[in-house]
Amino acid sequence: MRLLLVSTPIGTLGSGSGGGIEFTITNVAQEMQRRGHQVTILAPDGSTLAGIEMITVPGKGQISVQNQYEDAPITLPVNSVLANLWQKAREIQHNYDAVVNYAYDWLPFYLTPFFQTILLHHVSMSFVTHSIDRALASIAQKYPERLKFGSFAQAQTFSFDTSYCPVIYHGLPVDQYNFSATPKKYLLWLGRIAPEKALEDGVRVAQMTGIPLRIFGKLEDREYWENIQQNFPDAPIEYGGFLDNKADLQQVIGESMALLMTARWVEAFGNVVIESLACGTPVITYDRGGPGEIITDGETGFVVKPDSVVALVEAVNRIAEIDRLCCRRVVEEKFSLEAMGDRLEQWLTSAIA
């Protein structure tokens, strides 16, 4: 297959500001190319990904939809990189068998019936705005197979019937993750520091258990972070910034007792969950979104009542019951690049057919 993957208009590939999308698009591009497909990425200027053909376009970045209210209108800045990406995609679409969109934005969703080459969508977030929900609904009505979700829980947040839309779990290059059998005594919290990720619940766990919490990720909302520091002056927490280097990230994951997933929103998938399991580190998560589906309670971590800090603490106290090798094996079997590649190939082949 000749595939054109159109990246997110939020930041450049390789910068870290695209969050989980960057990780996903990198893994998808590399795995599909390894299988002999021809892969091109179309992305904002400044994007890089070694070994993959890249076409870049200039323009002003898009405001992330995740920070918008439900009735927010669609807005594009002057010289929008999103518009430029899709102008370019229209021009070059005939060189490809399929165009796959990774942006959670109204414009590419809306364009679906107007493309001559089949346009498919990786839907990377749950319901946020009504305008996007409507655009997705009209795709689902006509071409449900073109919308791919990261988890069943994510798909269910939308107003329309998603039962004919595929749910395809992500994967990662397992051999690039070292298994660690013996953790040190600390808990880990990974992610963008923003209200929807509810870091404060993780901080409360640290305060109640006395077990240090190490925090890594992009500081997206400074005021929110300053409030946490003021509200919990004695909690044993340490913020280490955003770790660019995957080797450093792996080391802090592998050495931790457990990863805490405390998101208040319905996380579409949660790449950090499979990264954690790949290192042998169990995950304690609220029963919400992708993490609640990926983790098997009592086997690869604990899935607890949403928003209950007491339940998180109880799970931390039982963490020694989890076999770290079992966490690793689940990734090898279900969340490897090969396993993800099989799922994607099937989706793309049947959608194109």
| 271 touches ligand UDP (CB under 6 A) | yes
Nearer to ligand UDP, 46 or 241 (CB): 241
Whose tokens are 């998808």? That residue is: 28
Options 87-95, 153-161, 267-275, 309-317: segment touching ligand UDP (CB under 6 A): 267-275
Contacts of 50 (CB under 8 A, 6+ apart): none
Q: Could you tell me which stretch among 57-65, 86-94, 138-146, 271-279 binds ligand UDP (CB under 6 A)?
A: 271-279
Nearer to ligand UDP, 98 or 155 (CB): 155
The minimum distance between CB 285 and ligand UDP, in angstroms, equals 12
> Rounded distance, CA 246 to CA 229, Å?
27
What is the C-alpha separation between 342 and 184, in angstroms, rounded?
36
d(CA 123, CA 101) in angstroms, rounded, equals 8
**Is residue 262 helix, strand or coil?**
coil
- Which of 83, 82, 80 minimizes the C-alpha distance to 60? 80
Q: Which of residues 245-264 bind ligand UDP (CB under 6 A)?
A: 249
- Minimal distance in Å, beta carbon 31 to ligand UDP? 15
Query: Measured between alpha carbons, how far is residue 288 from residues 187, 199, 263, 307 in Å?
Result: 20, 15, 8, 10
Binding status of residue 105 toward ligand UDP by CB under 6 A: no
Q: Scan for tokens 């086997």, then name that residue.
A: 299
Q: Which residues inside 198-217 make contact with ligand UDP, applying CB under 6 A?
A: 216-217
Based on the shown chain and the rule CB under 6 A, indicate whether residue 191 belongs to the binding site for ligand UDP.
Answer: yes
Q: Does 274 bind ligand UDP (CB under 6 A)?
A: no
Q: How far apart are CA 351 and CA 192, in angstroms?
A: 33
What letters, b where the CB count within 10 A reaches 16 and e where it falls short, cover 156-191? ebbebebeebbbbbbbbbbeebebbeebeebbbbbb
Nearer to ligand UDP (CB atom), residue 252 or residue 257: 252
Asked if residue 189 binds ligand UDP (CB under 6 A), the reply is no
Site for ligand UDP in 216-235 (CB under 6 A): 216-217
140 binds ligand UDP (CB under 6 A): no
Residue 313 phi, psi (nearest 5):
-65, -45
Binding residues for ligand UDP restricted to 15-34, rule: CB under 6 A: 16, 19-20, 23
Instruction: Round to whole Å and give the CA distance between 144 and 138.
Output: 9
- What minimum distance in Å lies between the beta carbon of 142 and ligand UDP? 28
96 binds ligand UDP (CB under 6 A): no
Q: Is 168 in the site for ligand UDP (CB under 6 A)?
A: no
DSSP 113: G
Contact between 341 and ligand UDP by CB under 6 A: the answer reads no
Segment near ligand UDP (CB under 6 A); pick from 32-40, 137-145, 187-195, 202-210: 187-195
Q: Does 9 bind ligand UDP (CB under 6 A)?
A: no
Q: Which stretch binds ligand UDP (CB under 6 A): 14-22, 41-49, 93-101, 298-306?
A: 14-22
Residue 224 structure tokens? 């929110």
Decide if residue 335 touches ligand UDP (CB under 6 A): no
Biggest CA–CA distance in the chain, Å, is 60
The secondary structure of the chain in percent helix, strand, coil, rounded to multiples of 5, reads: 45, 15, 40
192 binds ligand UDP (CB under 6 A): yes
Q: What's the closest the beta carbon of residue 219 comes to ligand UDP, in angstroms?
A: 10
Dihedral over Cα of 337, 44, 42, 116: its sign = positive
Shortest separation between residue 249's beta carbon and ligand UDP, angstroms? 5
Choosing from 190, 193, 228, 344, the residue that interacts with ligand UDP (CB under 6 A) is 190
- Residues in touch with ligand UDP (CB under 6 A): 16, 19-20, 23, 190-192, 216-217, 242-243, 249, 269-272, 275
